[in-house]
Amino acid sequence: LAGDRRPVAAVVTRVADIEENHWCPRLGLKGKVDASVEVALHKKPARVPLELKTGRHTFSHDHKAQFFSSSSVVLSVSSPQWDVRCIVAPSPQVVLYSLMMAERQDWDPQEGLLLYLRDGVDMRWVASPHRDRGALVQRRNELAQCLQPGAHLPPPIDSERHCPKCPHAVVCSAFRGEPVQGEERPAFVAQSVSHLSPSHRAYLLSWCRMLDEEGYHAGERDLQEHFWLDDACSRESRGLCLSDLSLVHCEAPPGDDARPPVRHVLERKRGTPGAPARPLPPVGLAAGDRVVLSEQGSLTCVALATGTLAALTESHVELLLDRDTRRSPGWEGKTFRVDRSPSVASAAISYTFLGRLVGVDPRAARLRALLVDRAAPSFRTTLPREVATLCRPALRGLNDTQRRVVLRFLMCDDYLLLRGMPGTGKTTTLAALVHALVLLKKRVLVTSYTHSGVDSILLKLRSRGVPFLRLGPTNRMHPLVRDQSAETLTAALRTTRELEEFYGAQVGARPSSRRLIAPPLPGRAAVDNQQQRADKSAEADGFCIHVYLPLTFERCTGKTNAFRPPLLMCVDVM
């Protein structure tokens, strides 16, 4: 293999693991290695990280020198409130992975492999000298220090070459605010936000603060920050952990192309042979929770695997994990713990939609006019006669008010708010509306803040004979709609083309909970109860919100405080 200075006599003998989790509390780093491979190096076995890249080649020392010098923040800090993600240069990324792998095994690899696939297979041997590791850890500490409560972020890069091409240039420039007296800024900063009014920027900052505060008060920080610091039994008493577990059964999916999840069954360890095991606690963790599996009492084997809790009884716990933990050396004698791992996907989606809301495209401009500038929604004055004829089956059984709502929505160009007290027929009206859109051959996306909100509409659609595809985890679905879930209907599919054909054939309702799907964009979206922010329906051309909340489109203005959520100092290597 080609090395930094001279060829290296190394042969890859086996792929030991794929997408291996590495959380290193001692270093404050976490990441997922593309592949851990065993190599014969100078006739001696070694286990090193292999990083796969599909972009352009950047093997050069200049790239590595640029990485260490100044221009790129190469690490990221993740927490329930913040998700700071930056680019990592390939060679230093391999160095970090080799450093992290040394925490979990007896032998320090000090090297790694970097494989580029874009212009043909090209693999290089990347050394991991002490000076490079030290520089990377120092950069990690600088970033973590800047994100401490009350601290300030490092000054912007202000690169005329790179910043204008950055996908986050608009959001970054919006957060910088107005220049202070005597401050000089590059021209691209003002150009990036020239399409935004002061009220648009205030809306972005206000809702980002609200999301920060929401995440902080949701208790996610406590669940995550004390994950490896708290005693397992102490966390178990608070319903956040299951301790003293041993692996009794592990079942991978059948076939040569076995994919996650891998079923794991664990039970309490017995104090003495033949003695009954302590029963697992009846409260706290529940089926469907996101969990991580770790070796109990170890800071080097944290988060060996992640997944969901499938079942919990007094005697055992069943997990569906992203990897087979039997690949870990010495797993037979280990004591495991299962900790709840709160998902930050919902907050990440909300931040993403806020960023897209201030974009320069026409769709974002129209949404800003509706949500921020309070422009009135537009409606067509008439409907074609054939629309009323096609939709007649969907209107059967509705009263006059419900029929008017359905027809009014069909005339809507932007959004329609449906208000009503509980029990007045709002869900029935939404089901009829979706039915009408399906009859018109429209793609429909049904969303709700809860899974039960989606299923209440789907059960009515099922009684009407309307085809639909239920998206989301099956263990959170109503039993009567699980046979129409994407997981069930795609279980026998094996190729990407089969998946494309399957999803391309769906022309009915396409529901999801908490998230939106694109492409293709649905023509209409029906948003069920408790969906307080219409910003989340940014994917649809028009949408109907089933809600009775006075603050649906109210901006949170006048909220000025010095709130700054504390951060989890765990750096995520991307």
Q: Which helix (H) or strand (E) holds 279?
A: none
89-103, 310-324, 366-380, 532-546: which range is least confident on average?
A: 532-546
Residue 429 DSSP code: H
Residue 392 CA to residue 186 CA, distance in Å, equals: 60
Residue 53 CA to residue 59 CA, distance in Å, equals: 11
Residues 318 and 381 placed together within one structural domain of the fold: no
Residues 240 and 287 placed together within one structural domain of the fold: yes
Residues 333 and 383 placed together within one structural domain of the fold: no
The answer as to whether 165 is a domain residue is: no
Residue 23 CA to residue 227 CA, distance in Å, equals: 11
pLDDT at residue 554 greater than cutoff 80: no
Residues 252 and 380 placed together within one structural domain of the fold: no
> Residue 359 has what pLDDT?
93
Q: Which of 342, 364, 384 is the last residue of a domain?
A: 342
- For 61-98, b/e burial (b = at least 16 CB within 10 A) is eeebeebbeeebbbbbbbbbbbebeeebbbbbbbbbbb
The answer as to whether 174 is a domain residue is: no
Q: Dihedral of CA 425/430/431/433: which sign? A: positive
Q: How sure is the predictor about 204, in pLDDT bands with cuts at 50, 70 and 90?
A: very high
Q: How sure is the predictor about 521, in pLDDT bands with cuts at 50, 70 and 90?
A: very low
The answer as to whether 519 is a domain residue is: no
Mean pLDDT of the chain, nearest integer: 76
| Domain CATH number, residue 393 | 3.40.50.300
Q: Which domain holds residue 253?
A: 230-342
Q: CA angle, 146 as apex, 144 and 150 as ends, to 5°?
A: 115
Residue 172 CA to residue 184 CA, distance in Å, equals: 16
> Residue 219 has what pLDDT?
58
Residue 309 CA to residue 338 CA, distance in Å, equals: 9
Q: Which of 113, 129, 154 is the last residue of a domain?
A: 154
Residues 338 and 438 placed together within one structural domain of the fold: no
| Domain CATH number, residue 336 | 2.40.30.270
Task: Residue 336: name the closest of 372, 301, 387 by CA.
Answer: 301
Residues 330 and 380 placed together within one structural domain of the fold: no
Which structure tokens are listed for 135? Answer: 């520089």
Residue 214 CA to residue 125 CA, distance in Å, equals: 45
Residues 147 and 291 placed together within one structural domain of the fold: no
Residue entry with tokens 């401009």: 365
> Residue 520 has what pLDDT?
41
Residue 308 CA to residue 289 CA, distance in Å, equals: 6
* Number of compact structural domains in the chain: 3
- List alpha helices for 47-176, DSSP H: 61-69, 90-104, 130-146, 169-176
Q: What is the pTM of this model?
A: 0.70
Residue 433 CA to residue 395 CA, distance in Å, equals: 8
Q: How sure is the predictor about 542, in pLDDT bands with cuts at 50, 70 and 90?
A: very low
Residue range 18-44, pLDDT digits in tens: 888 888 888 888 888 888 888 887 767
Residues 14 and 75 placed together within one structural domain of the fold: yes
Most confident of 22-31, 361-370, 509-518, 521-530: 361-370
Residue 452 CA to residue 476 CA, distance in Å, equals: 8
Most confident of 62-71, 333-342, 364-373: 364-373
Chain CA centroid to CA 338, Å: 21
